[in-house]
Amino acid sequence: MEAIIEEYYDEMLPAVTTPKQWKHIAGDFLTKWNFPHVCGALDGKHIRIRCPKNSGSLYYNYKGYFSVILIALVDANYKFIWVSVGANGSASDAQVFNHSELRTMLEEDNLGLPDADTIPGDDRNSFLIGNDAFPLRTWMLKPYSRRNFTDNERIFNYR
């Protein structure tokens, strides 16, 4: 596993650290998805494993099998920007994210996300998007709940 990471790390996980690099990613989200200011999409995935010896139910997930969790931030073309893998399957995406370096960097404003652009009538800062598992913050948007959508809410969720 370590040899694979060492060989492909630079190619598969490019270091995105400057506002200019984030703006390029945000430009791709705007062009491809018509969604301005988005610097990444965050989601989790359970990876099925055999039950580790003496682990009890630690790796048993709500889907009914043993797993480890992969949480990933991707760009508009589904390429990895940041990844955390190996958390036990009984944890939720939110638990894994809450204990991640990514969340710490976002809360401490150390990720290098660009400040608000000069889009007429729009003074929002850049942000990430995620599903209902993640917290709603100034740096994280998530979908509207699935009840009585307005047209604008439906469009937002679609994007």
Percent of the chain with pLDDT over 90: 33
Please tell me whether residue 101 adopts helix, strand or coil conformation. helix
Rounded to an integer, the average pLDDT of 136-148 is: 85
Rounded to an integer, the average pLDDT of 86-109 is: 90
Residues contacting 59, CB < 8 A, separation 6+: 49, 51, 52, 66, 67, 68, 88, 89, 90
pLDDT value at position 65?
93
pLDDT value at position 15?
67
Q: Say if residue 121's pLDDT is above 60.
A: no
Residue appearing with tokens 């992969």: 70
Identify whether the C-beta of residue 66 lies closer than 8 Å to the C-beta of residue 60.
yes
Query: What confidence category does residue 117 fall into, taking pLDDT thresholds of 50, 70 and 90?
Result: low
Query: What confidence category does residue 74 fall into, taking pLDDT thresholds of 50, 70 and 90?
Result: very high
Buried b (16+ CB within 10 A) or exposed e, 7-34: eeeeeeeeebeeeebbbebbebbeeeee
pLDDT value at position 2?
63
Rounded to an integer, the average pLDDT of 78-102 is: 89
- 106 vs 119: which has the higher pLDDT: 106
Q: What is the C-alpha to C-alpha distance for residues 48 and 74, in angstroms, rounded to an integer? A: 21
Identify whether the C-beta of residue 125 lies closer than 8 Å to the C-beta of residue 116.
yes
Q: What is the C-alpha to C-alpha distance for residues 147 and 69, in angstroms, rounded to an integer? A: 29
User: From edge to edge, which strands make up the β-sheet containing 140-141?
Assistant: 80-88, 67-74, 38-48, 127-130, 140-141
Rounded to an integer, the average pLDDT of 15-34 is: 87
